[in-house]
Every structure is written in structure tokens, then in C-alpha cells.
Amino acid sequence: MILVTGATGNVGRQVVSQLRDAGAAVRALVRDPSSAGLPEEVDVVRGDLSAPDTLEAALDGVESVFLVWPFFTADGAPAVLDAVGRHARRIVYLSSAGVREDVERQGDPINQFHADVERLIERSGLEWTFLRAGGFATNALAWAPEIREGGVVRAPFGAATRSLIHERDIAAVAVRVLTGDGHGGAKHHLTGPELLSTVEQVRAVGEAAGRPARFEEIPVEEARRQMLASGWPASVVDGIFDAHAGMVAEPERITSTVEEITGVPARTFRQWAADHAGDFR
Ligand SMILES: NC(=O)c1ccc[n+]([C@@H]2O[C@H](COP(=O)([O-])OP(=O)(O)OC[C@H]3O[C@@H](n4cnc5c(N)ncnc54)[C@H](OP(=O)(O)O)[C@@H]3O)[C@@H](O)[C@H]2O)c1
């Protein structure tokens, strides 16, 4: 039995569906089964990663766990990993390609919590694999309201250049790792197959949706104010903007790990935009 956390999210939902397609026994951890929207045949169990006592039923009989960490600190991770360790033997963790091994402290809170969770997992005694993903193509879903309402995406860092990855490809790797052998102790750096600037991403989404879309550069301070107003912690916002500024100077890397593990090339951003065209209409 494989337990998938974050099962209603971008990646976890795909992991559940691809594990089912592969014939694996899969259970989905969700906070609210009534709104989870998972297929009826899926074994859906209620549990909350911020309340480790609630995880026992979900972990009963589980061999492997796909872990998504939906918090900005690793404070709650030791108790969750204790609970996992009482039942499972293997954990596959959705981490970040931004985690650096050559520093004691990461440069931003997001990579810091990923590095902290990774370290705790390494010490847990579980067999582990880290999926260190680069930027998700699903980040573009944040533009959907602007594209629907007029086609102008206002943001900073139009020249930031990323190798965005399709959630289906992260999930496809997760399924191979969760159902196969030979990935224990691996830190897989997962990316999409090509580099696109933010300006090019907006254009590609507009073309896929059949709605002309263009990027309009705004000052960082304006975007920062908007994110703070919608509840993002300041240190996280600053970390994200620093990372984007870095991607103007130095684009994200491209790896071939998706193809090496799944046997199929990683999907392009245009394929992602076509798959999600309806979200932008
Ligand atoms: N975006 C990027 O570019 C990027 C790059 C590398 C790594 N990552 C990492 O990827 C992860 C996010 O993955 P995603 O995009 O697939 O997730 P997502 O779509 O943001 O969904 C988050 C999931 O976590 C669940 N969740 C939230 N709070 C929970 C709790 N207290 N207990 C149990 N489940 C809870 C949500 O379930 P509910 O339905 O209950 O809300 C949902 O299924 C983050 O750790 C992020 O740092 C992101």
C-alpha cells in the first residue's frame, strides 16, 4: 500500500491517478474527504499533517509514503516522520531543486524548510528518495484571472528564465520510484526539457487558450505589496523574488532525469499549457 499526501494538490493528484493506472494499491491522505474530488474507487482517508495523531489510520498497512510538505517550516516534520517510521519502510519526498548542499543555511525560507525536512528524513531510518523539482509549470495558474479578464499579466522579472516541469512528469517519476527498486538514497533533480522566459510563458499560455496574452513588467515593490496583502509571509516573498532575480542573470538548469527514469522525454511547457487551456478561458 502506498500513501499519497497532498493528494488533492497539483502533483499528488497525479501521483494517485498514475499509481492507480499502474495497478498499485494506493491510499490518499486528505483533510476533507467530501471536497477531495478524487475518483470513488480511491481509498481516501482523512488526516492532517499538522496533527500527527490523525495519521495513524491512514498509515495502517502502508509500505511507502509520497510526502508533500505544505508548510513554510519543518517544525512539525519530526512527529510526522516518527508516525511514518512506525508503519512504512520507504519515503519519497517532493523537494526543491533550489536546495544547496554546499551551505549550512539556505538563502530563502522555502529551500530552508526543504533542506530541513530532507535532513530529518535522512536521519529517520527510512529508505528515502528526494525528488528535487525545479519550477512547476502550475505556477502559471496564478495568471489565470488576468488572462481571462483581458490578457495582460502584470508581474516583475519578465526575463526570468525557467525549465518549468509538468506535474505529470514529477508524478511519473514518483510512480517509478514508489513502485520500483534502486532509487534509495537518490536525489533526483527534475526539470522540464526547455528554457522559457516569463514573457514567453505568458505568450504560450495565451496561444494555448486561444486568448492573446502579453506580459507587462511591474516594479518588484508593487508585486511585493500585492503578495503581502494576500497573506504571504514577507521572508517567503523576498525569497521568491530573489530567486526570480537570480533566474534573470542565470537561467534554471535543464536535466534529463525525467526521461532517464520514465523512458519518456519530459513534456514541454506548451504541452502543459495545452493540457490546462481550459483553466485560462
Ligand atoms: N511551485 C514550485 O515551483 C515548486 C518547486 C519545487 C518544489 N515545490 C514544492 O511542492 C510542494 C507543493 O506541491 P503541489 O503544488 O503539488 O501542492 P499544492 O497543489 O499546493 O497542494 C498542497 C496539498 O497539500 C495539502 N495540504 C495542505 N495542508 C495540509 C495539511 N495540514 N495536512 C495535510 N495535507 C495538507 C493540500 O490538501 P487540502 O486539499 O487539504 O488543502 C493539497 O493537497 C511544496 O512543498 C513546494 O515547496 C514547489
What's the rounded mean pLDDT across residues 91-97?
98
Ligand 1 centroid – CA 78 distance (Å): 18
96 Cβ inside 6 Å of ligand 1: yes
70 Cβ inside 6 Å of ligand 1: yes
Q: Tell me the HSE value of 106 on the side-chain side, using a 13 A CA sphere.
A: 25
- The pick from 3, 5, 8 for probing ligand 1's pocket by mutation, whose C-beta has the most ligand atoms within 8 angstroms, reads 8
Which grid cell sits at 55?
495519521
Give which of 235, 190, 185, 10 is closest to 97, Cα–Cα. Answer: 190
Do 139 and 273 lie in a common domain?
Answer: yes
Q: Taking all residues of the chain, what is their mean pLDDT, rounded to a whole number?
A: 97
- The pick from 31, 130, 253 for probing ligand 1's pocket by mutation, whose C-beta has the most ligand atoms within 8 angstroms, reads 31
pLDDT above 90 (res 27): yes
CATH code, 142 = 3.40.50.720
Do 215 and 115 lie in a common domain?
Answer: no
**Count of domains forming the chain:** 2
Do 118 and 243 lie in a common domain?
Answer: no
d(CA 192, CA 65): 24
What's the rounded mean pLDDT across residues 11-19?
98
Do 223 and 270 lie in a common domain?
Answer: yes
In tens, the pLDDT along 123-178 reads 999 999 999 999 999 999 999 999 999 999 999 999 999 999 999 999 999 999 99
Do 32 and 61 lie in a common domain?
Answer: yes
Burial group, residue 272, by CB count within 10 angstroms (0-12, 13-18, 19+) = buried
Please report whether residue 84 resides in a domain.
yes
139 Cβ inside 6 Å of ligand 1: yes
Q: Which pLDDT score is estimated for 40?
A: 87
Reported confidence tier of residue 59, pLDDT bands at 50, 70, 90: very high
Q: Which pLDDT score is estimated for 196?
A: 98
pLDDT above 90 (res 41): no
Ligand 1 centroid – CA 27 distance (Å): 17
Do 217 and 103 lie in a common domain?
Answer: no
Which grid cell sits at 120?
530529518
Residue with cell 527534475: 190
Which domain range does residue 41 map to? 2-133
Ligand 1 centroid – CA 101 distance (Å): 23
Do 110 and 148 lie in a common domain?
Answer: no
Please report whether residue 175 resides in a domain.
no
Q: Which pLDDT score is estimated for 126?
A: 98
In tens, the pLDDT along 175-205 reads 999 999 999 999 999 999 999 999 999 999 9
110 Cβ inside 6 Å of ligand 1: yes
In tens, the pLDDT along 216-251 reads 999 999 999 999 999 999 999 999 999 999 999 999
49 Cβ inside 6 Å of ligand 1: yes
Cα 105 to chain centroid distance, Å, stands at 22
Please report whether residue 91 resides in a domain.
yes
State which of 113, 133, 153 marks the end of a domain: 133
Q: Which pLDDT score is estimated for 83?
A: 98
d(CA 91, CA 124): 10
Which grid cell sits at 70?
505544505
What percentage of the chain has pLDDT greater than the value 70?
A: 100
State which of 111, 133, 155 marks the end of a domain: 133
Do 218 and 143 lie in a common domain?
Answer: yes
Ligand 1 centroid – CA 5 distance (Å): 9
What percentage of the chain has pLDDT greater than the value 90?
A: 99
Please report whether residue 171 resides in a domain.
no
Do 38 and 144 lie in a common domain?
Answer: no
Do 126 and 142 lie in a common domain?
Answer: no
Strand ranges (E), 10-126: 26-30, 43-46, 64-67, 90-96
User: By the 8 A CB rule, do 124 and 92 touch?
Assistant: no
Please report whether residue 144 resides in a domain.
yes
State which of 87, 113, 133 marks the end of a domain: 133
Q: Which ligand 1 atom minimizes the distance to the CA of 11? A: 16
Do 107 and 157 lie in a common domain?
Answer: no
Please report whether residue 259 resides in a domain.
no
Please report whether residue 235 resides in a domain.
yes
Please report whether residue 180 resides in a domain.
no
Do 117 and 208 lie in a common domain?
Answer: no
Give which of 201, 199, 129, 130 is closest to 165, Cα–Cα. Answer: 201
Cα 248 to chain centroid distance, Å, stands at 22
31 Cβ inside 6 Å of ligand 1: yes
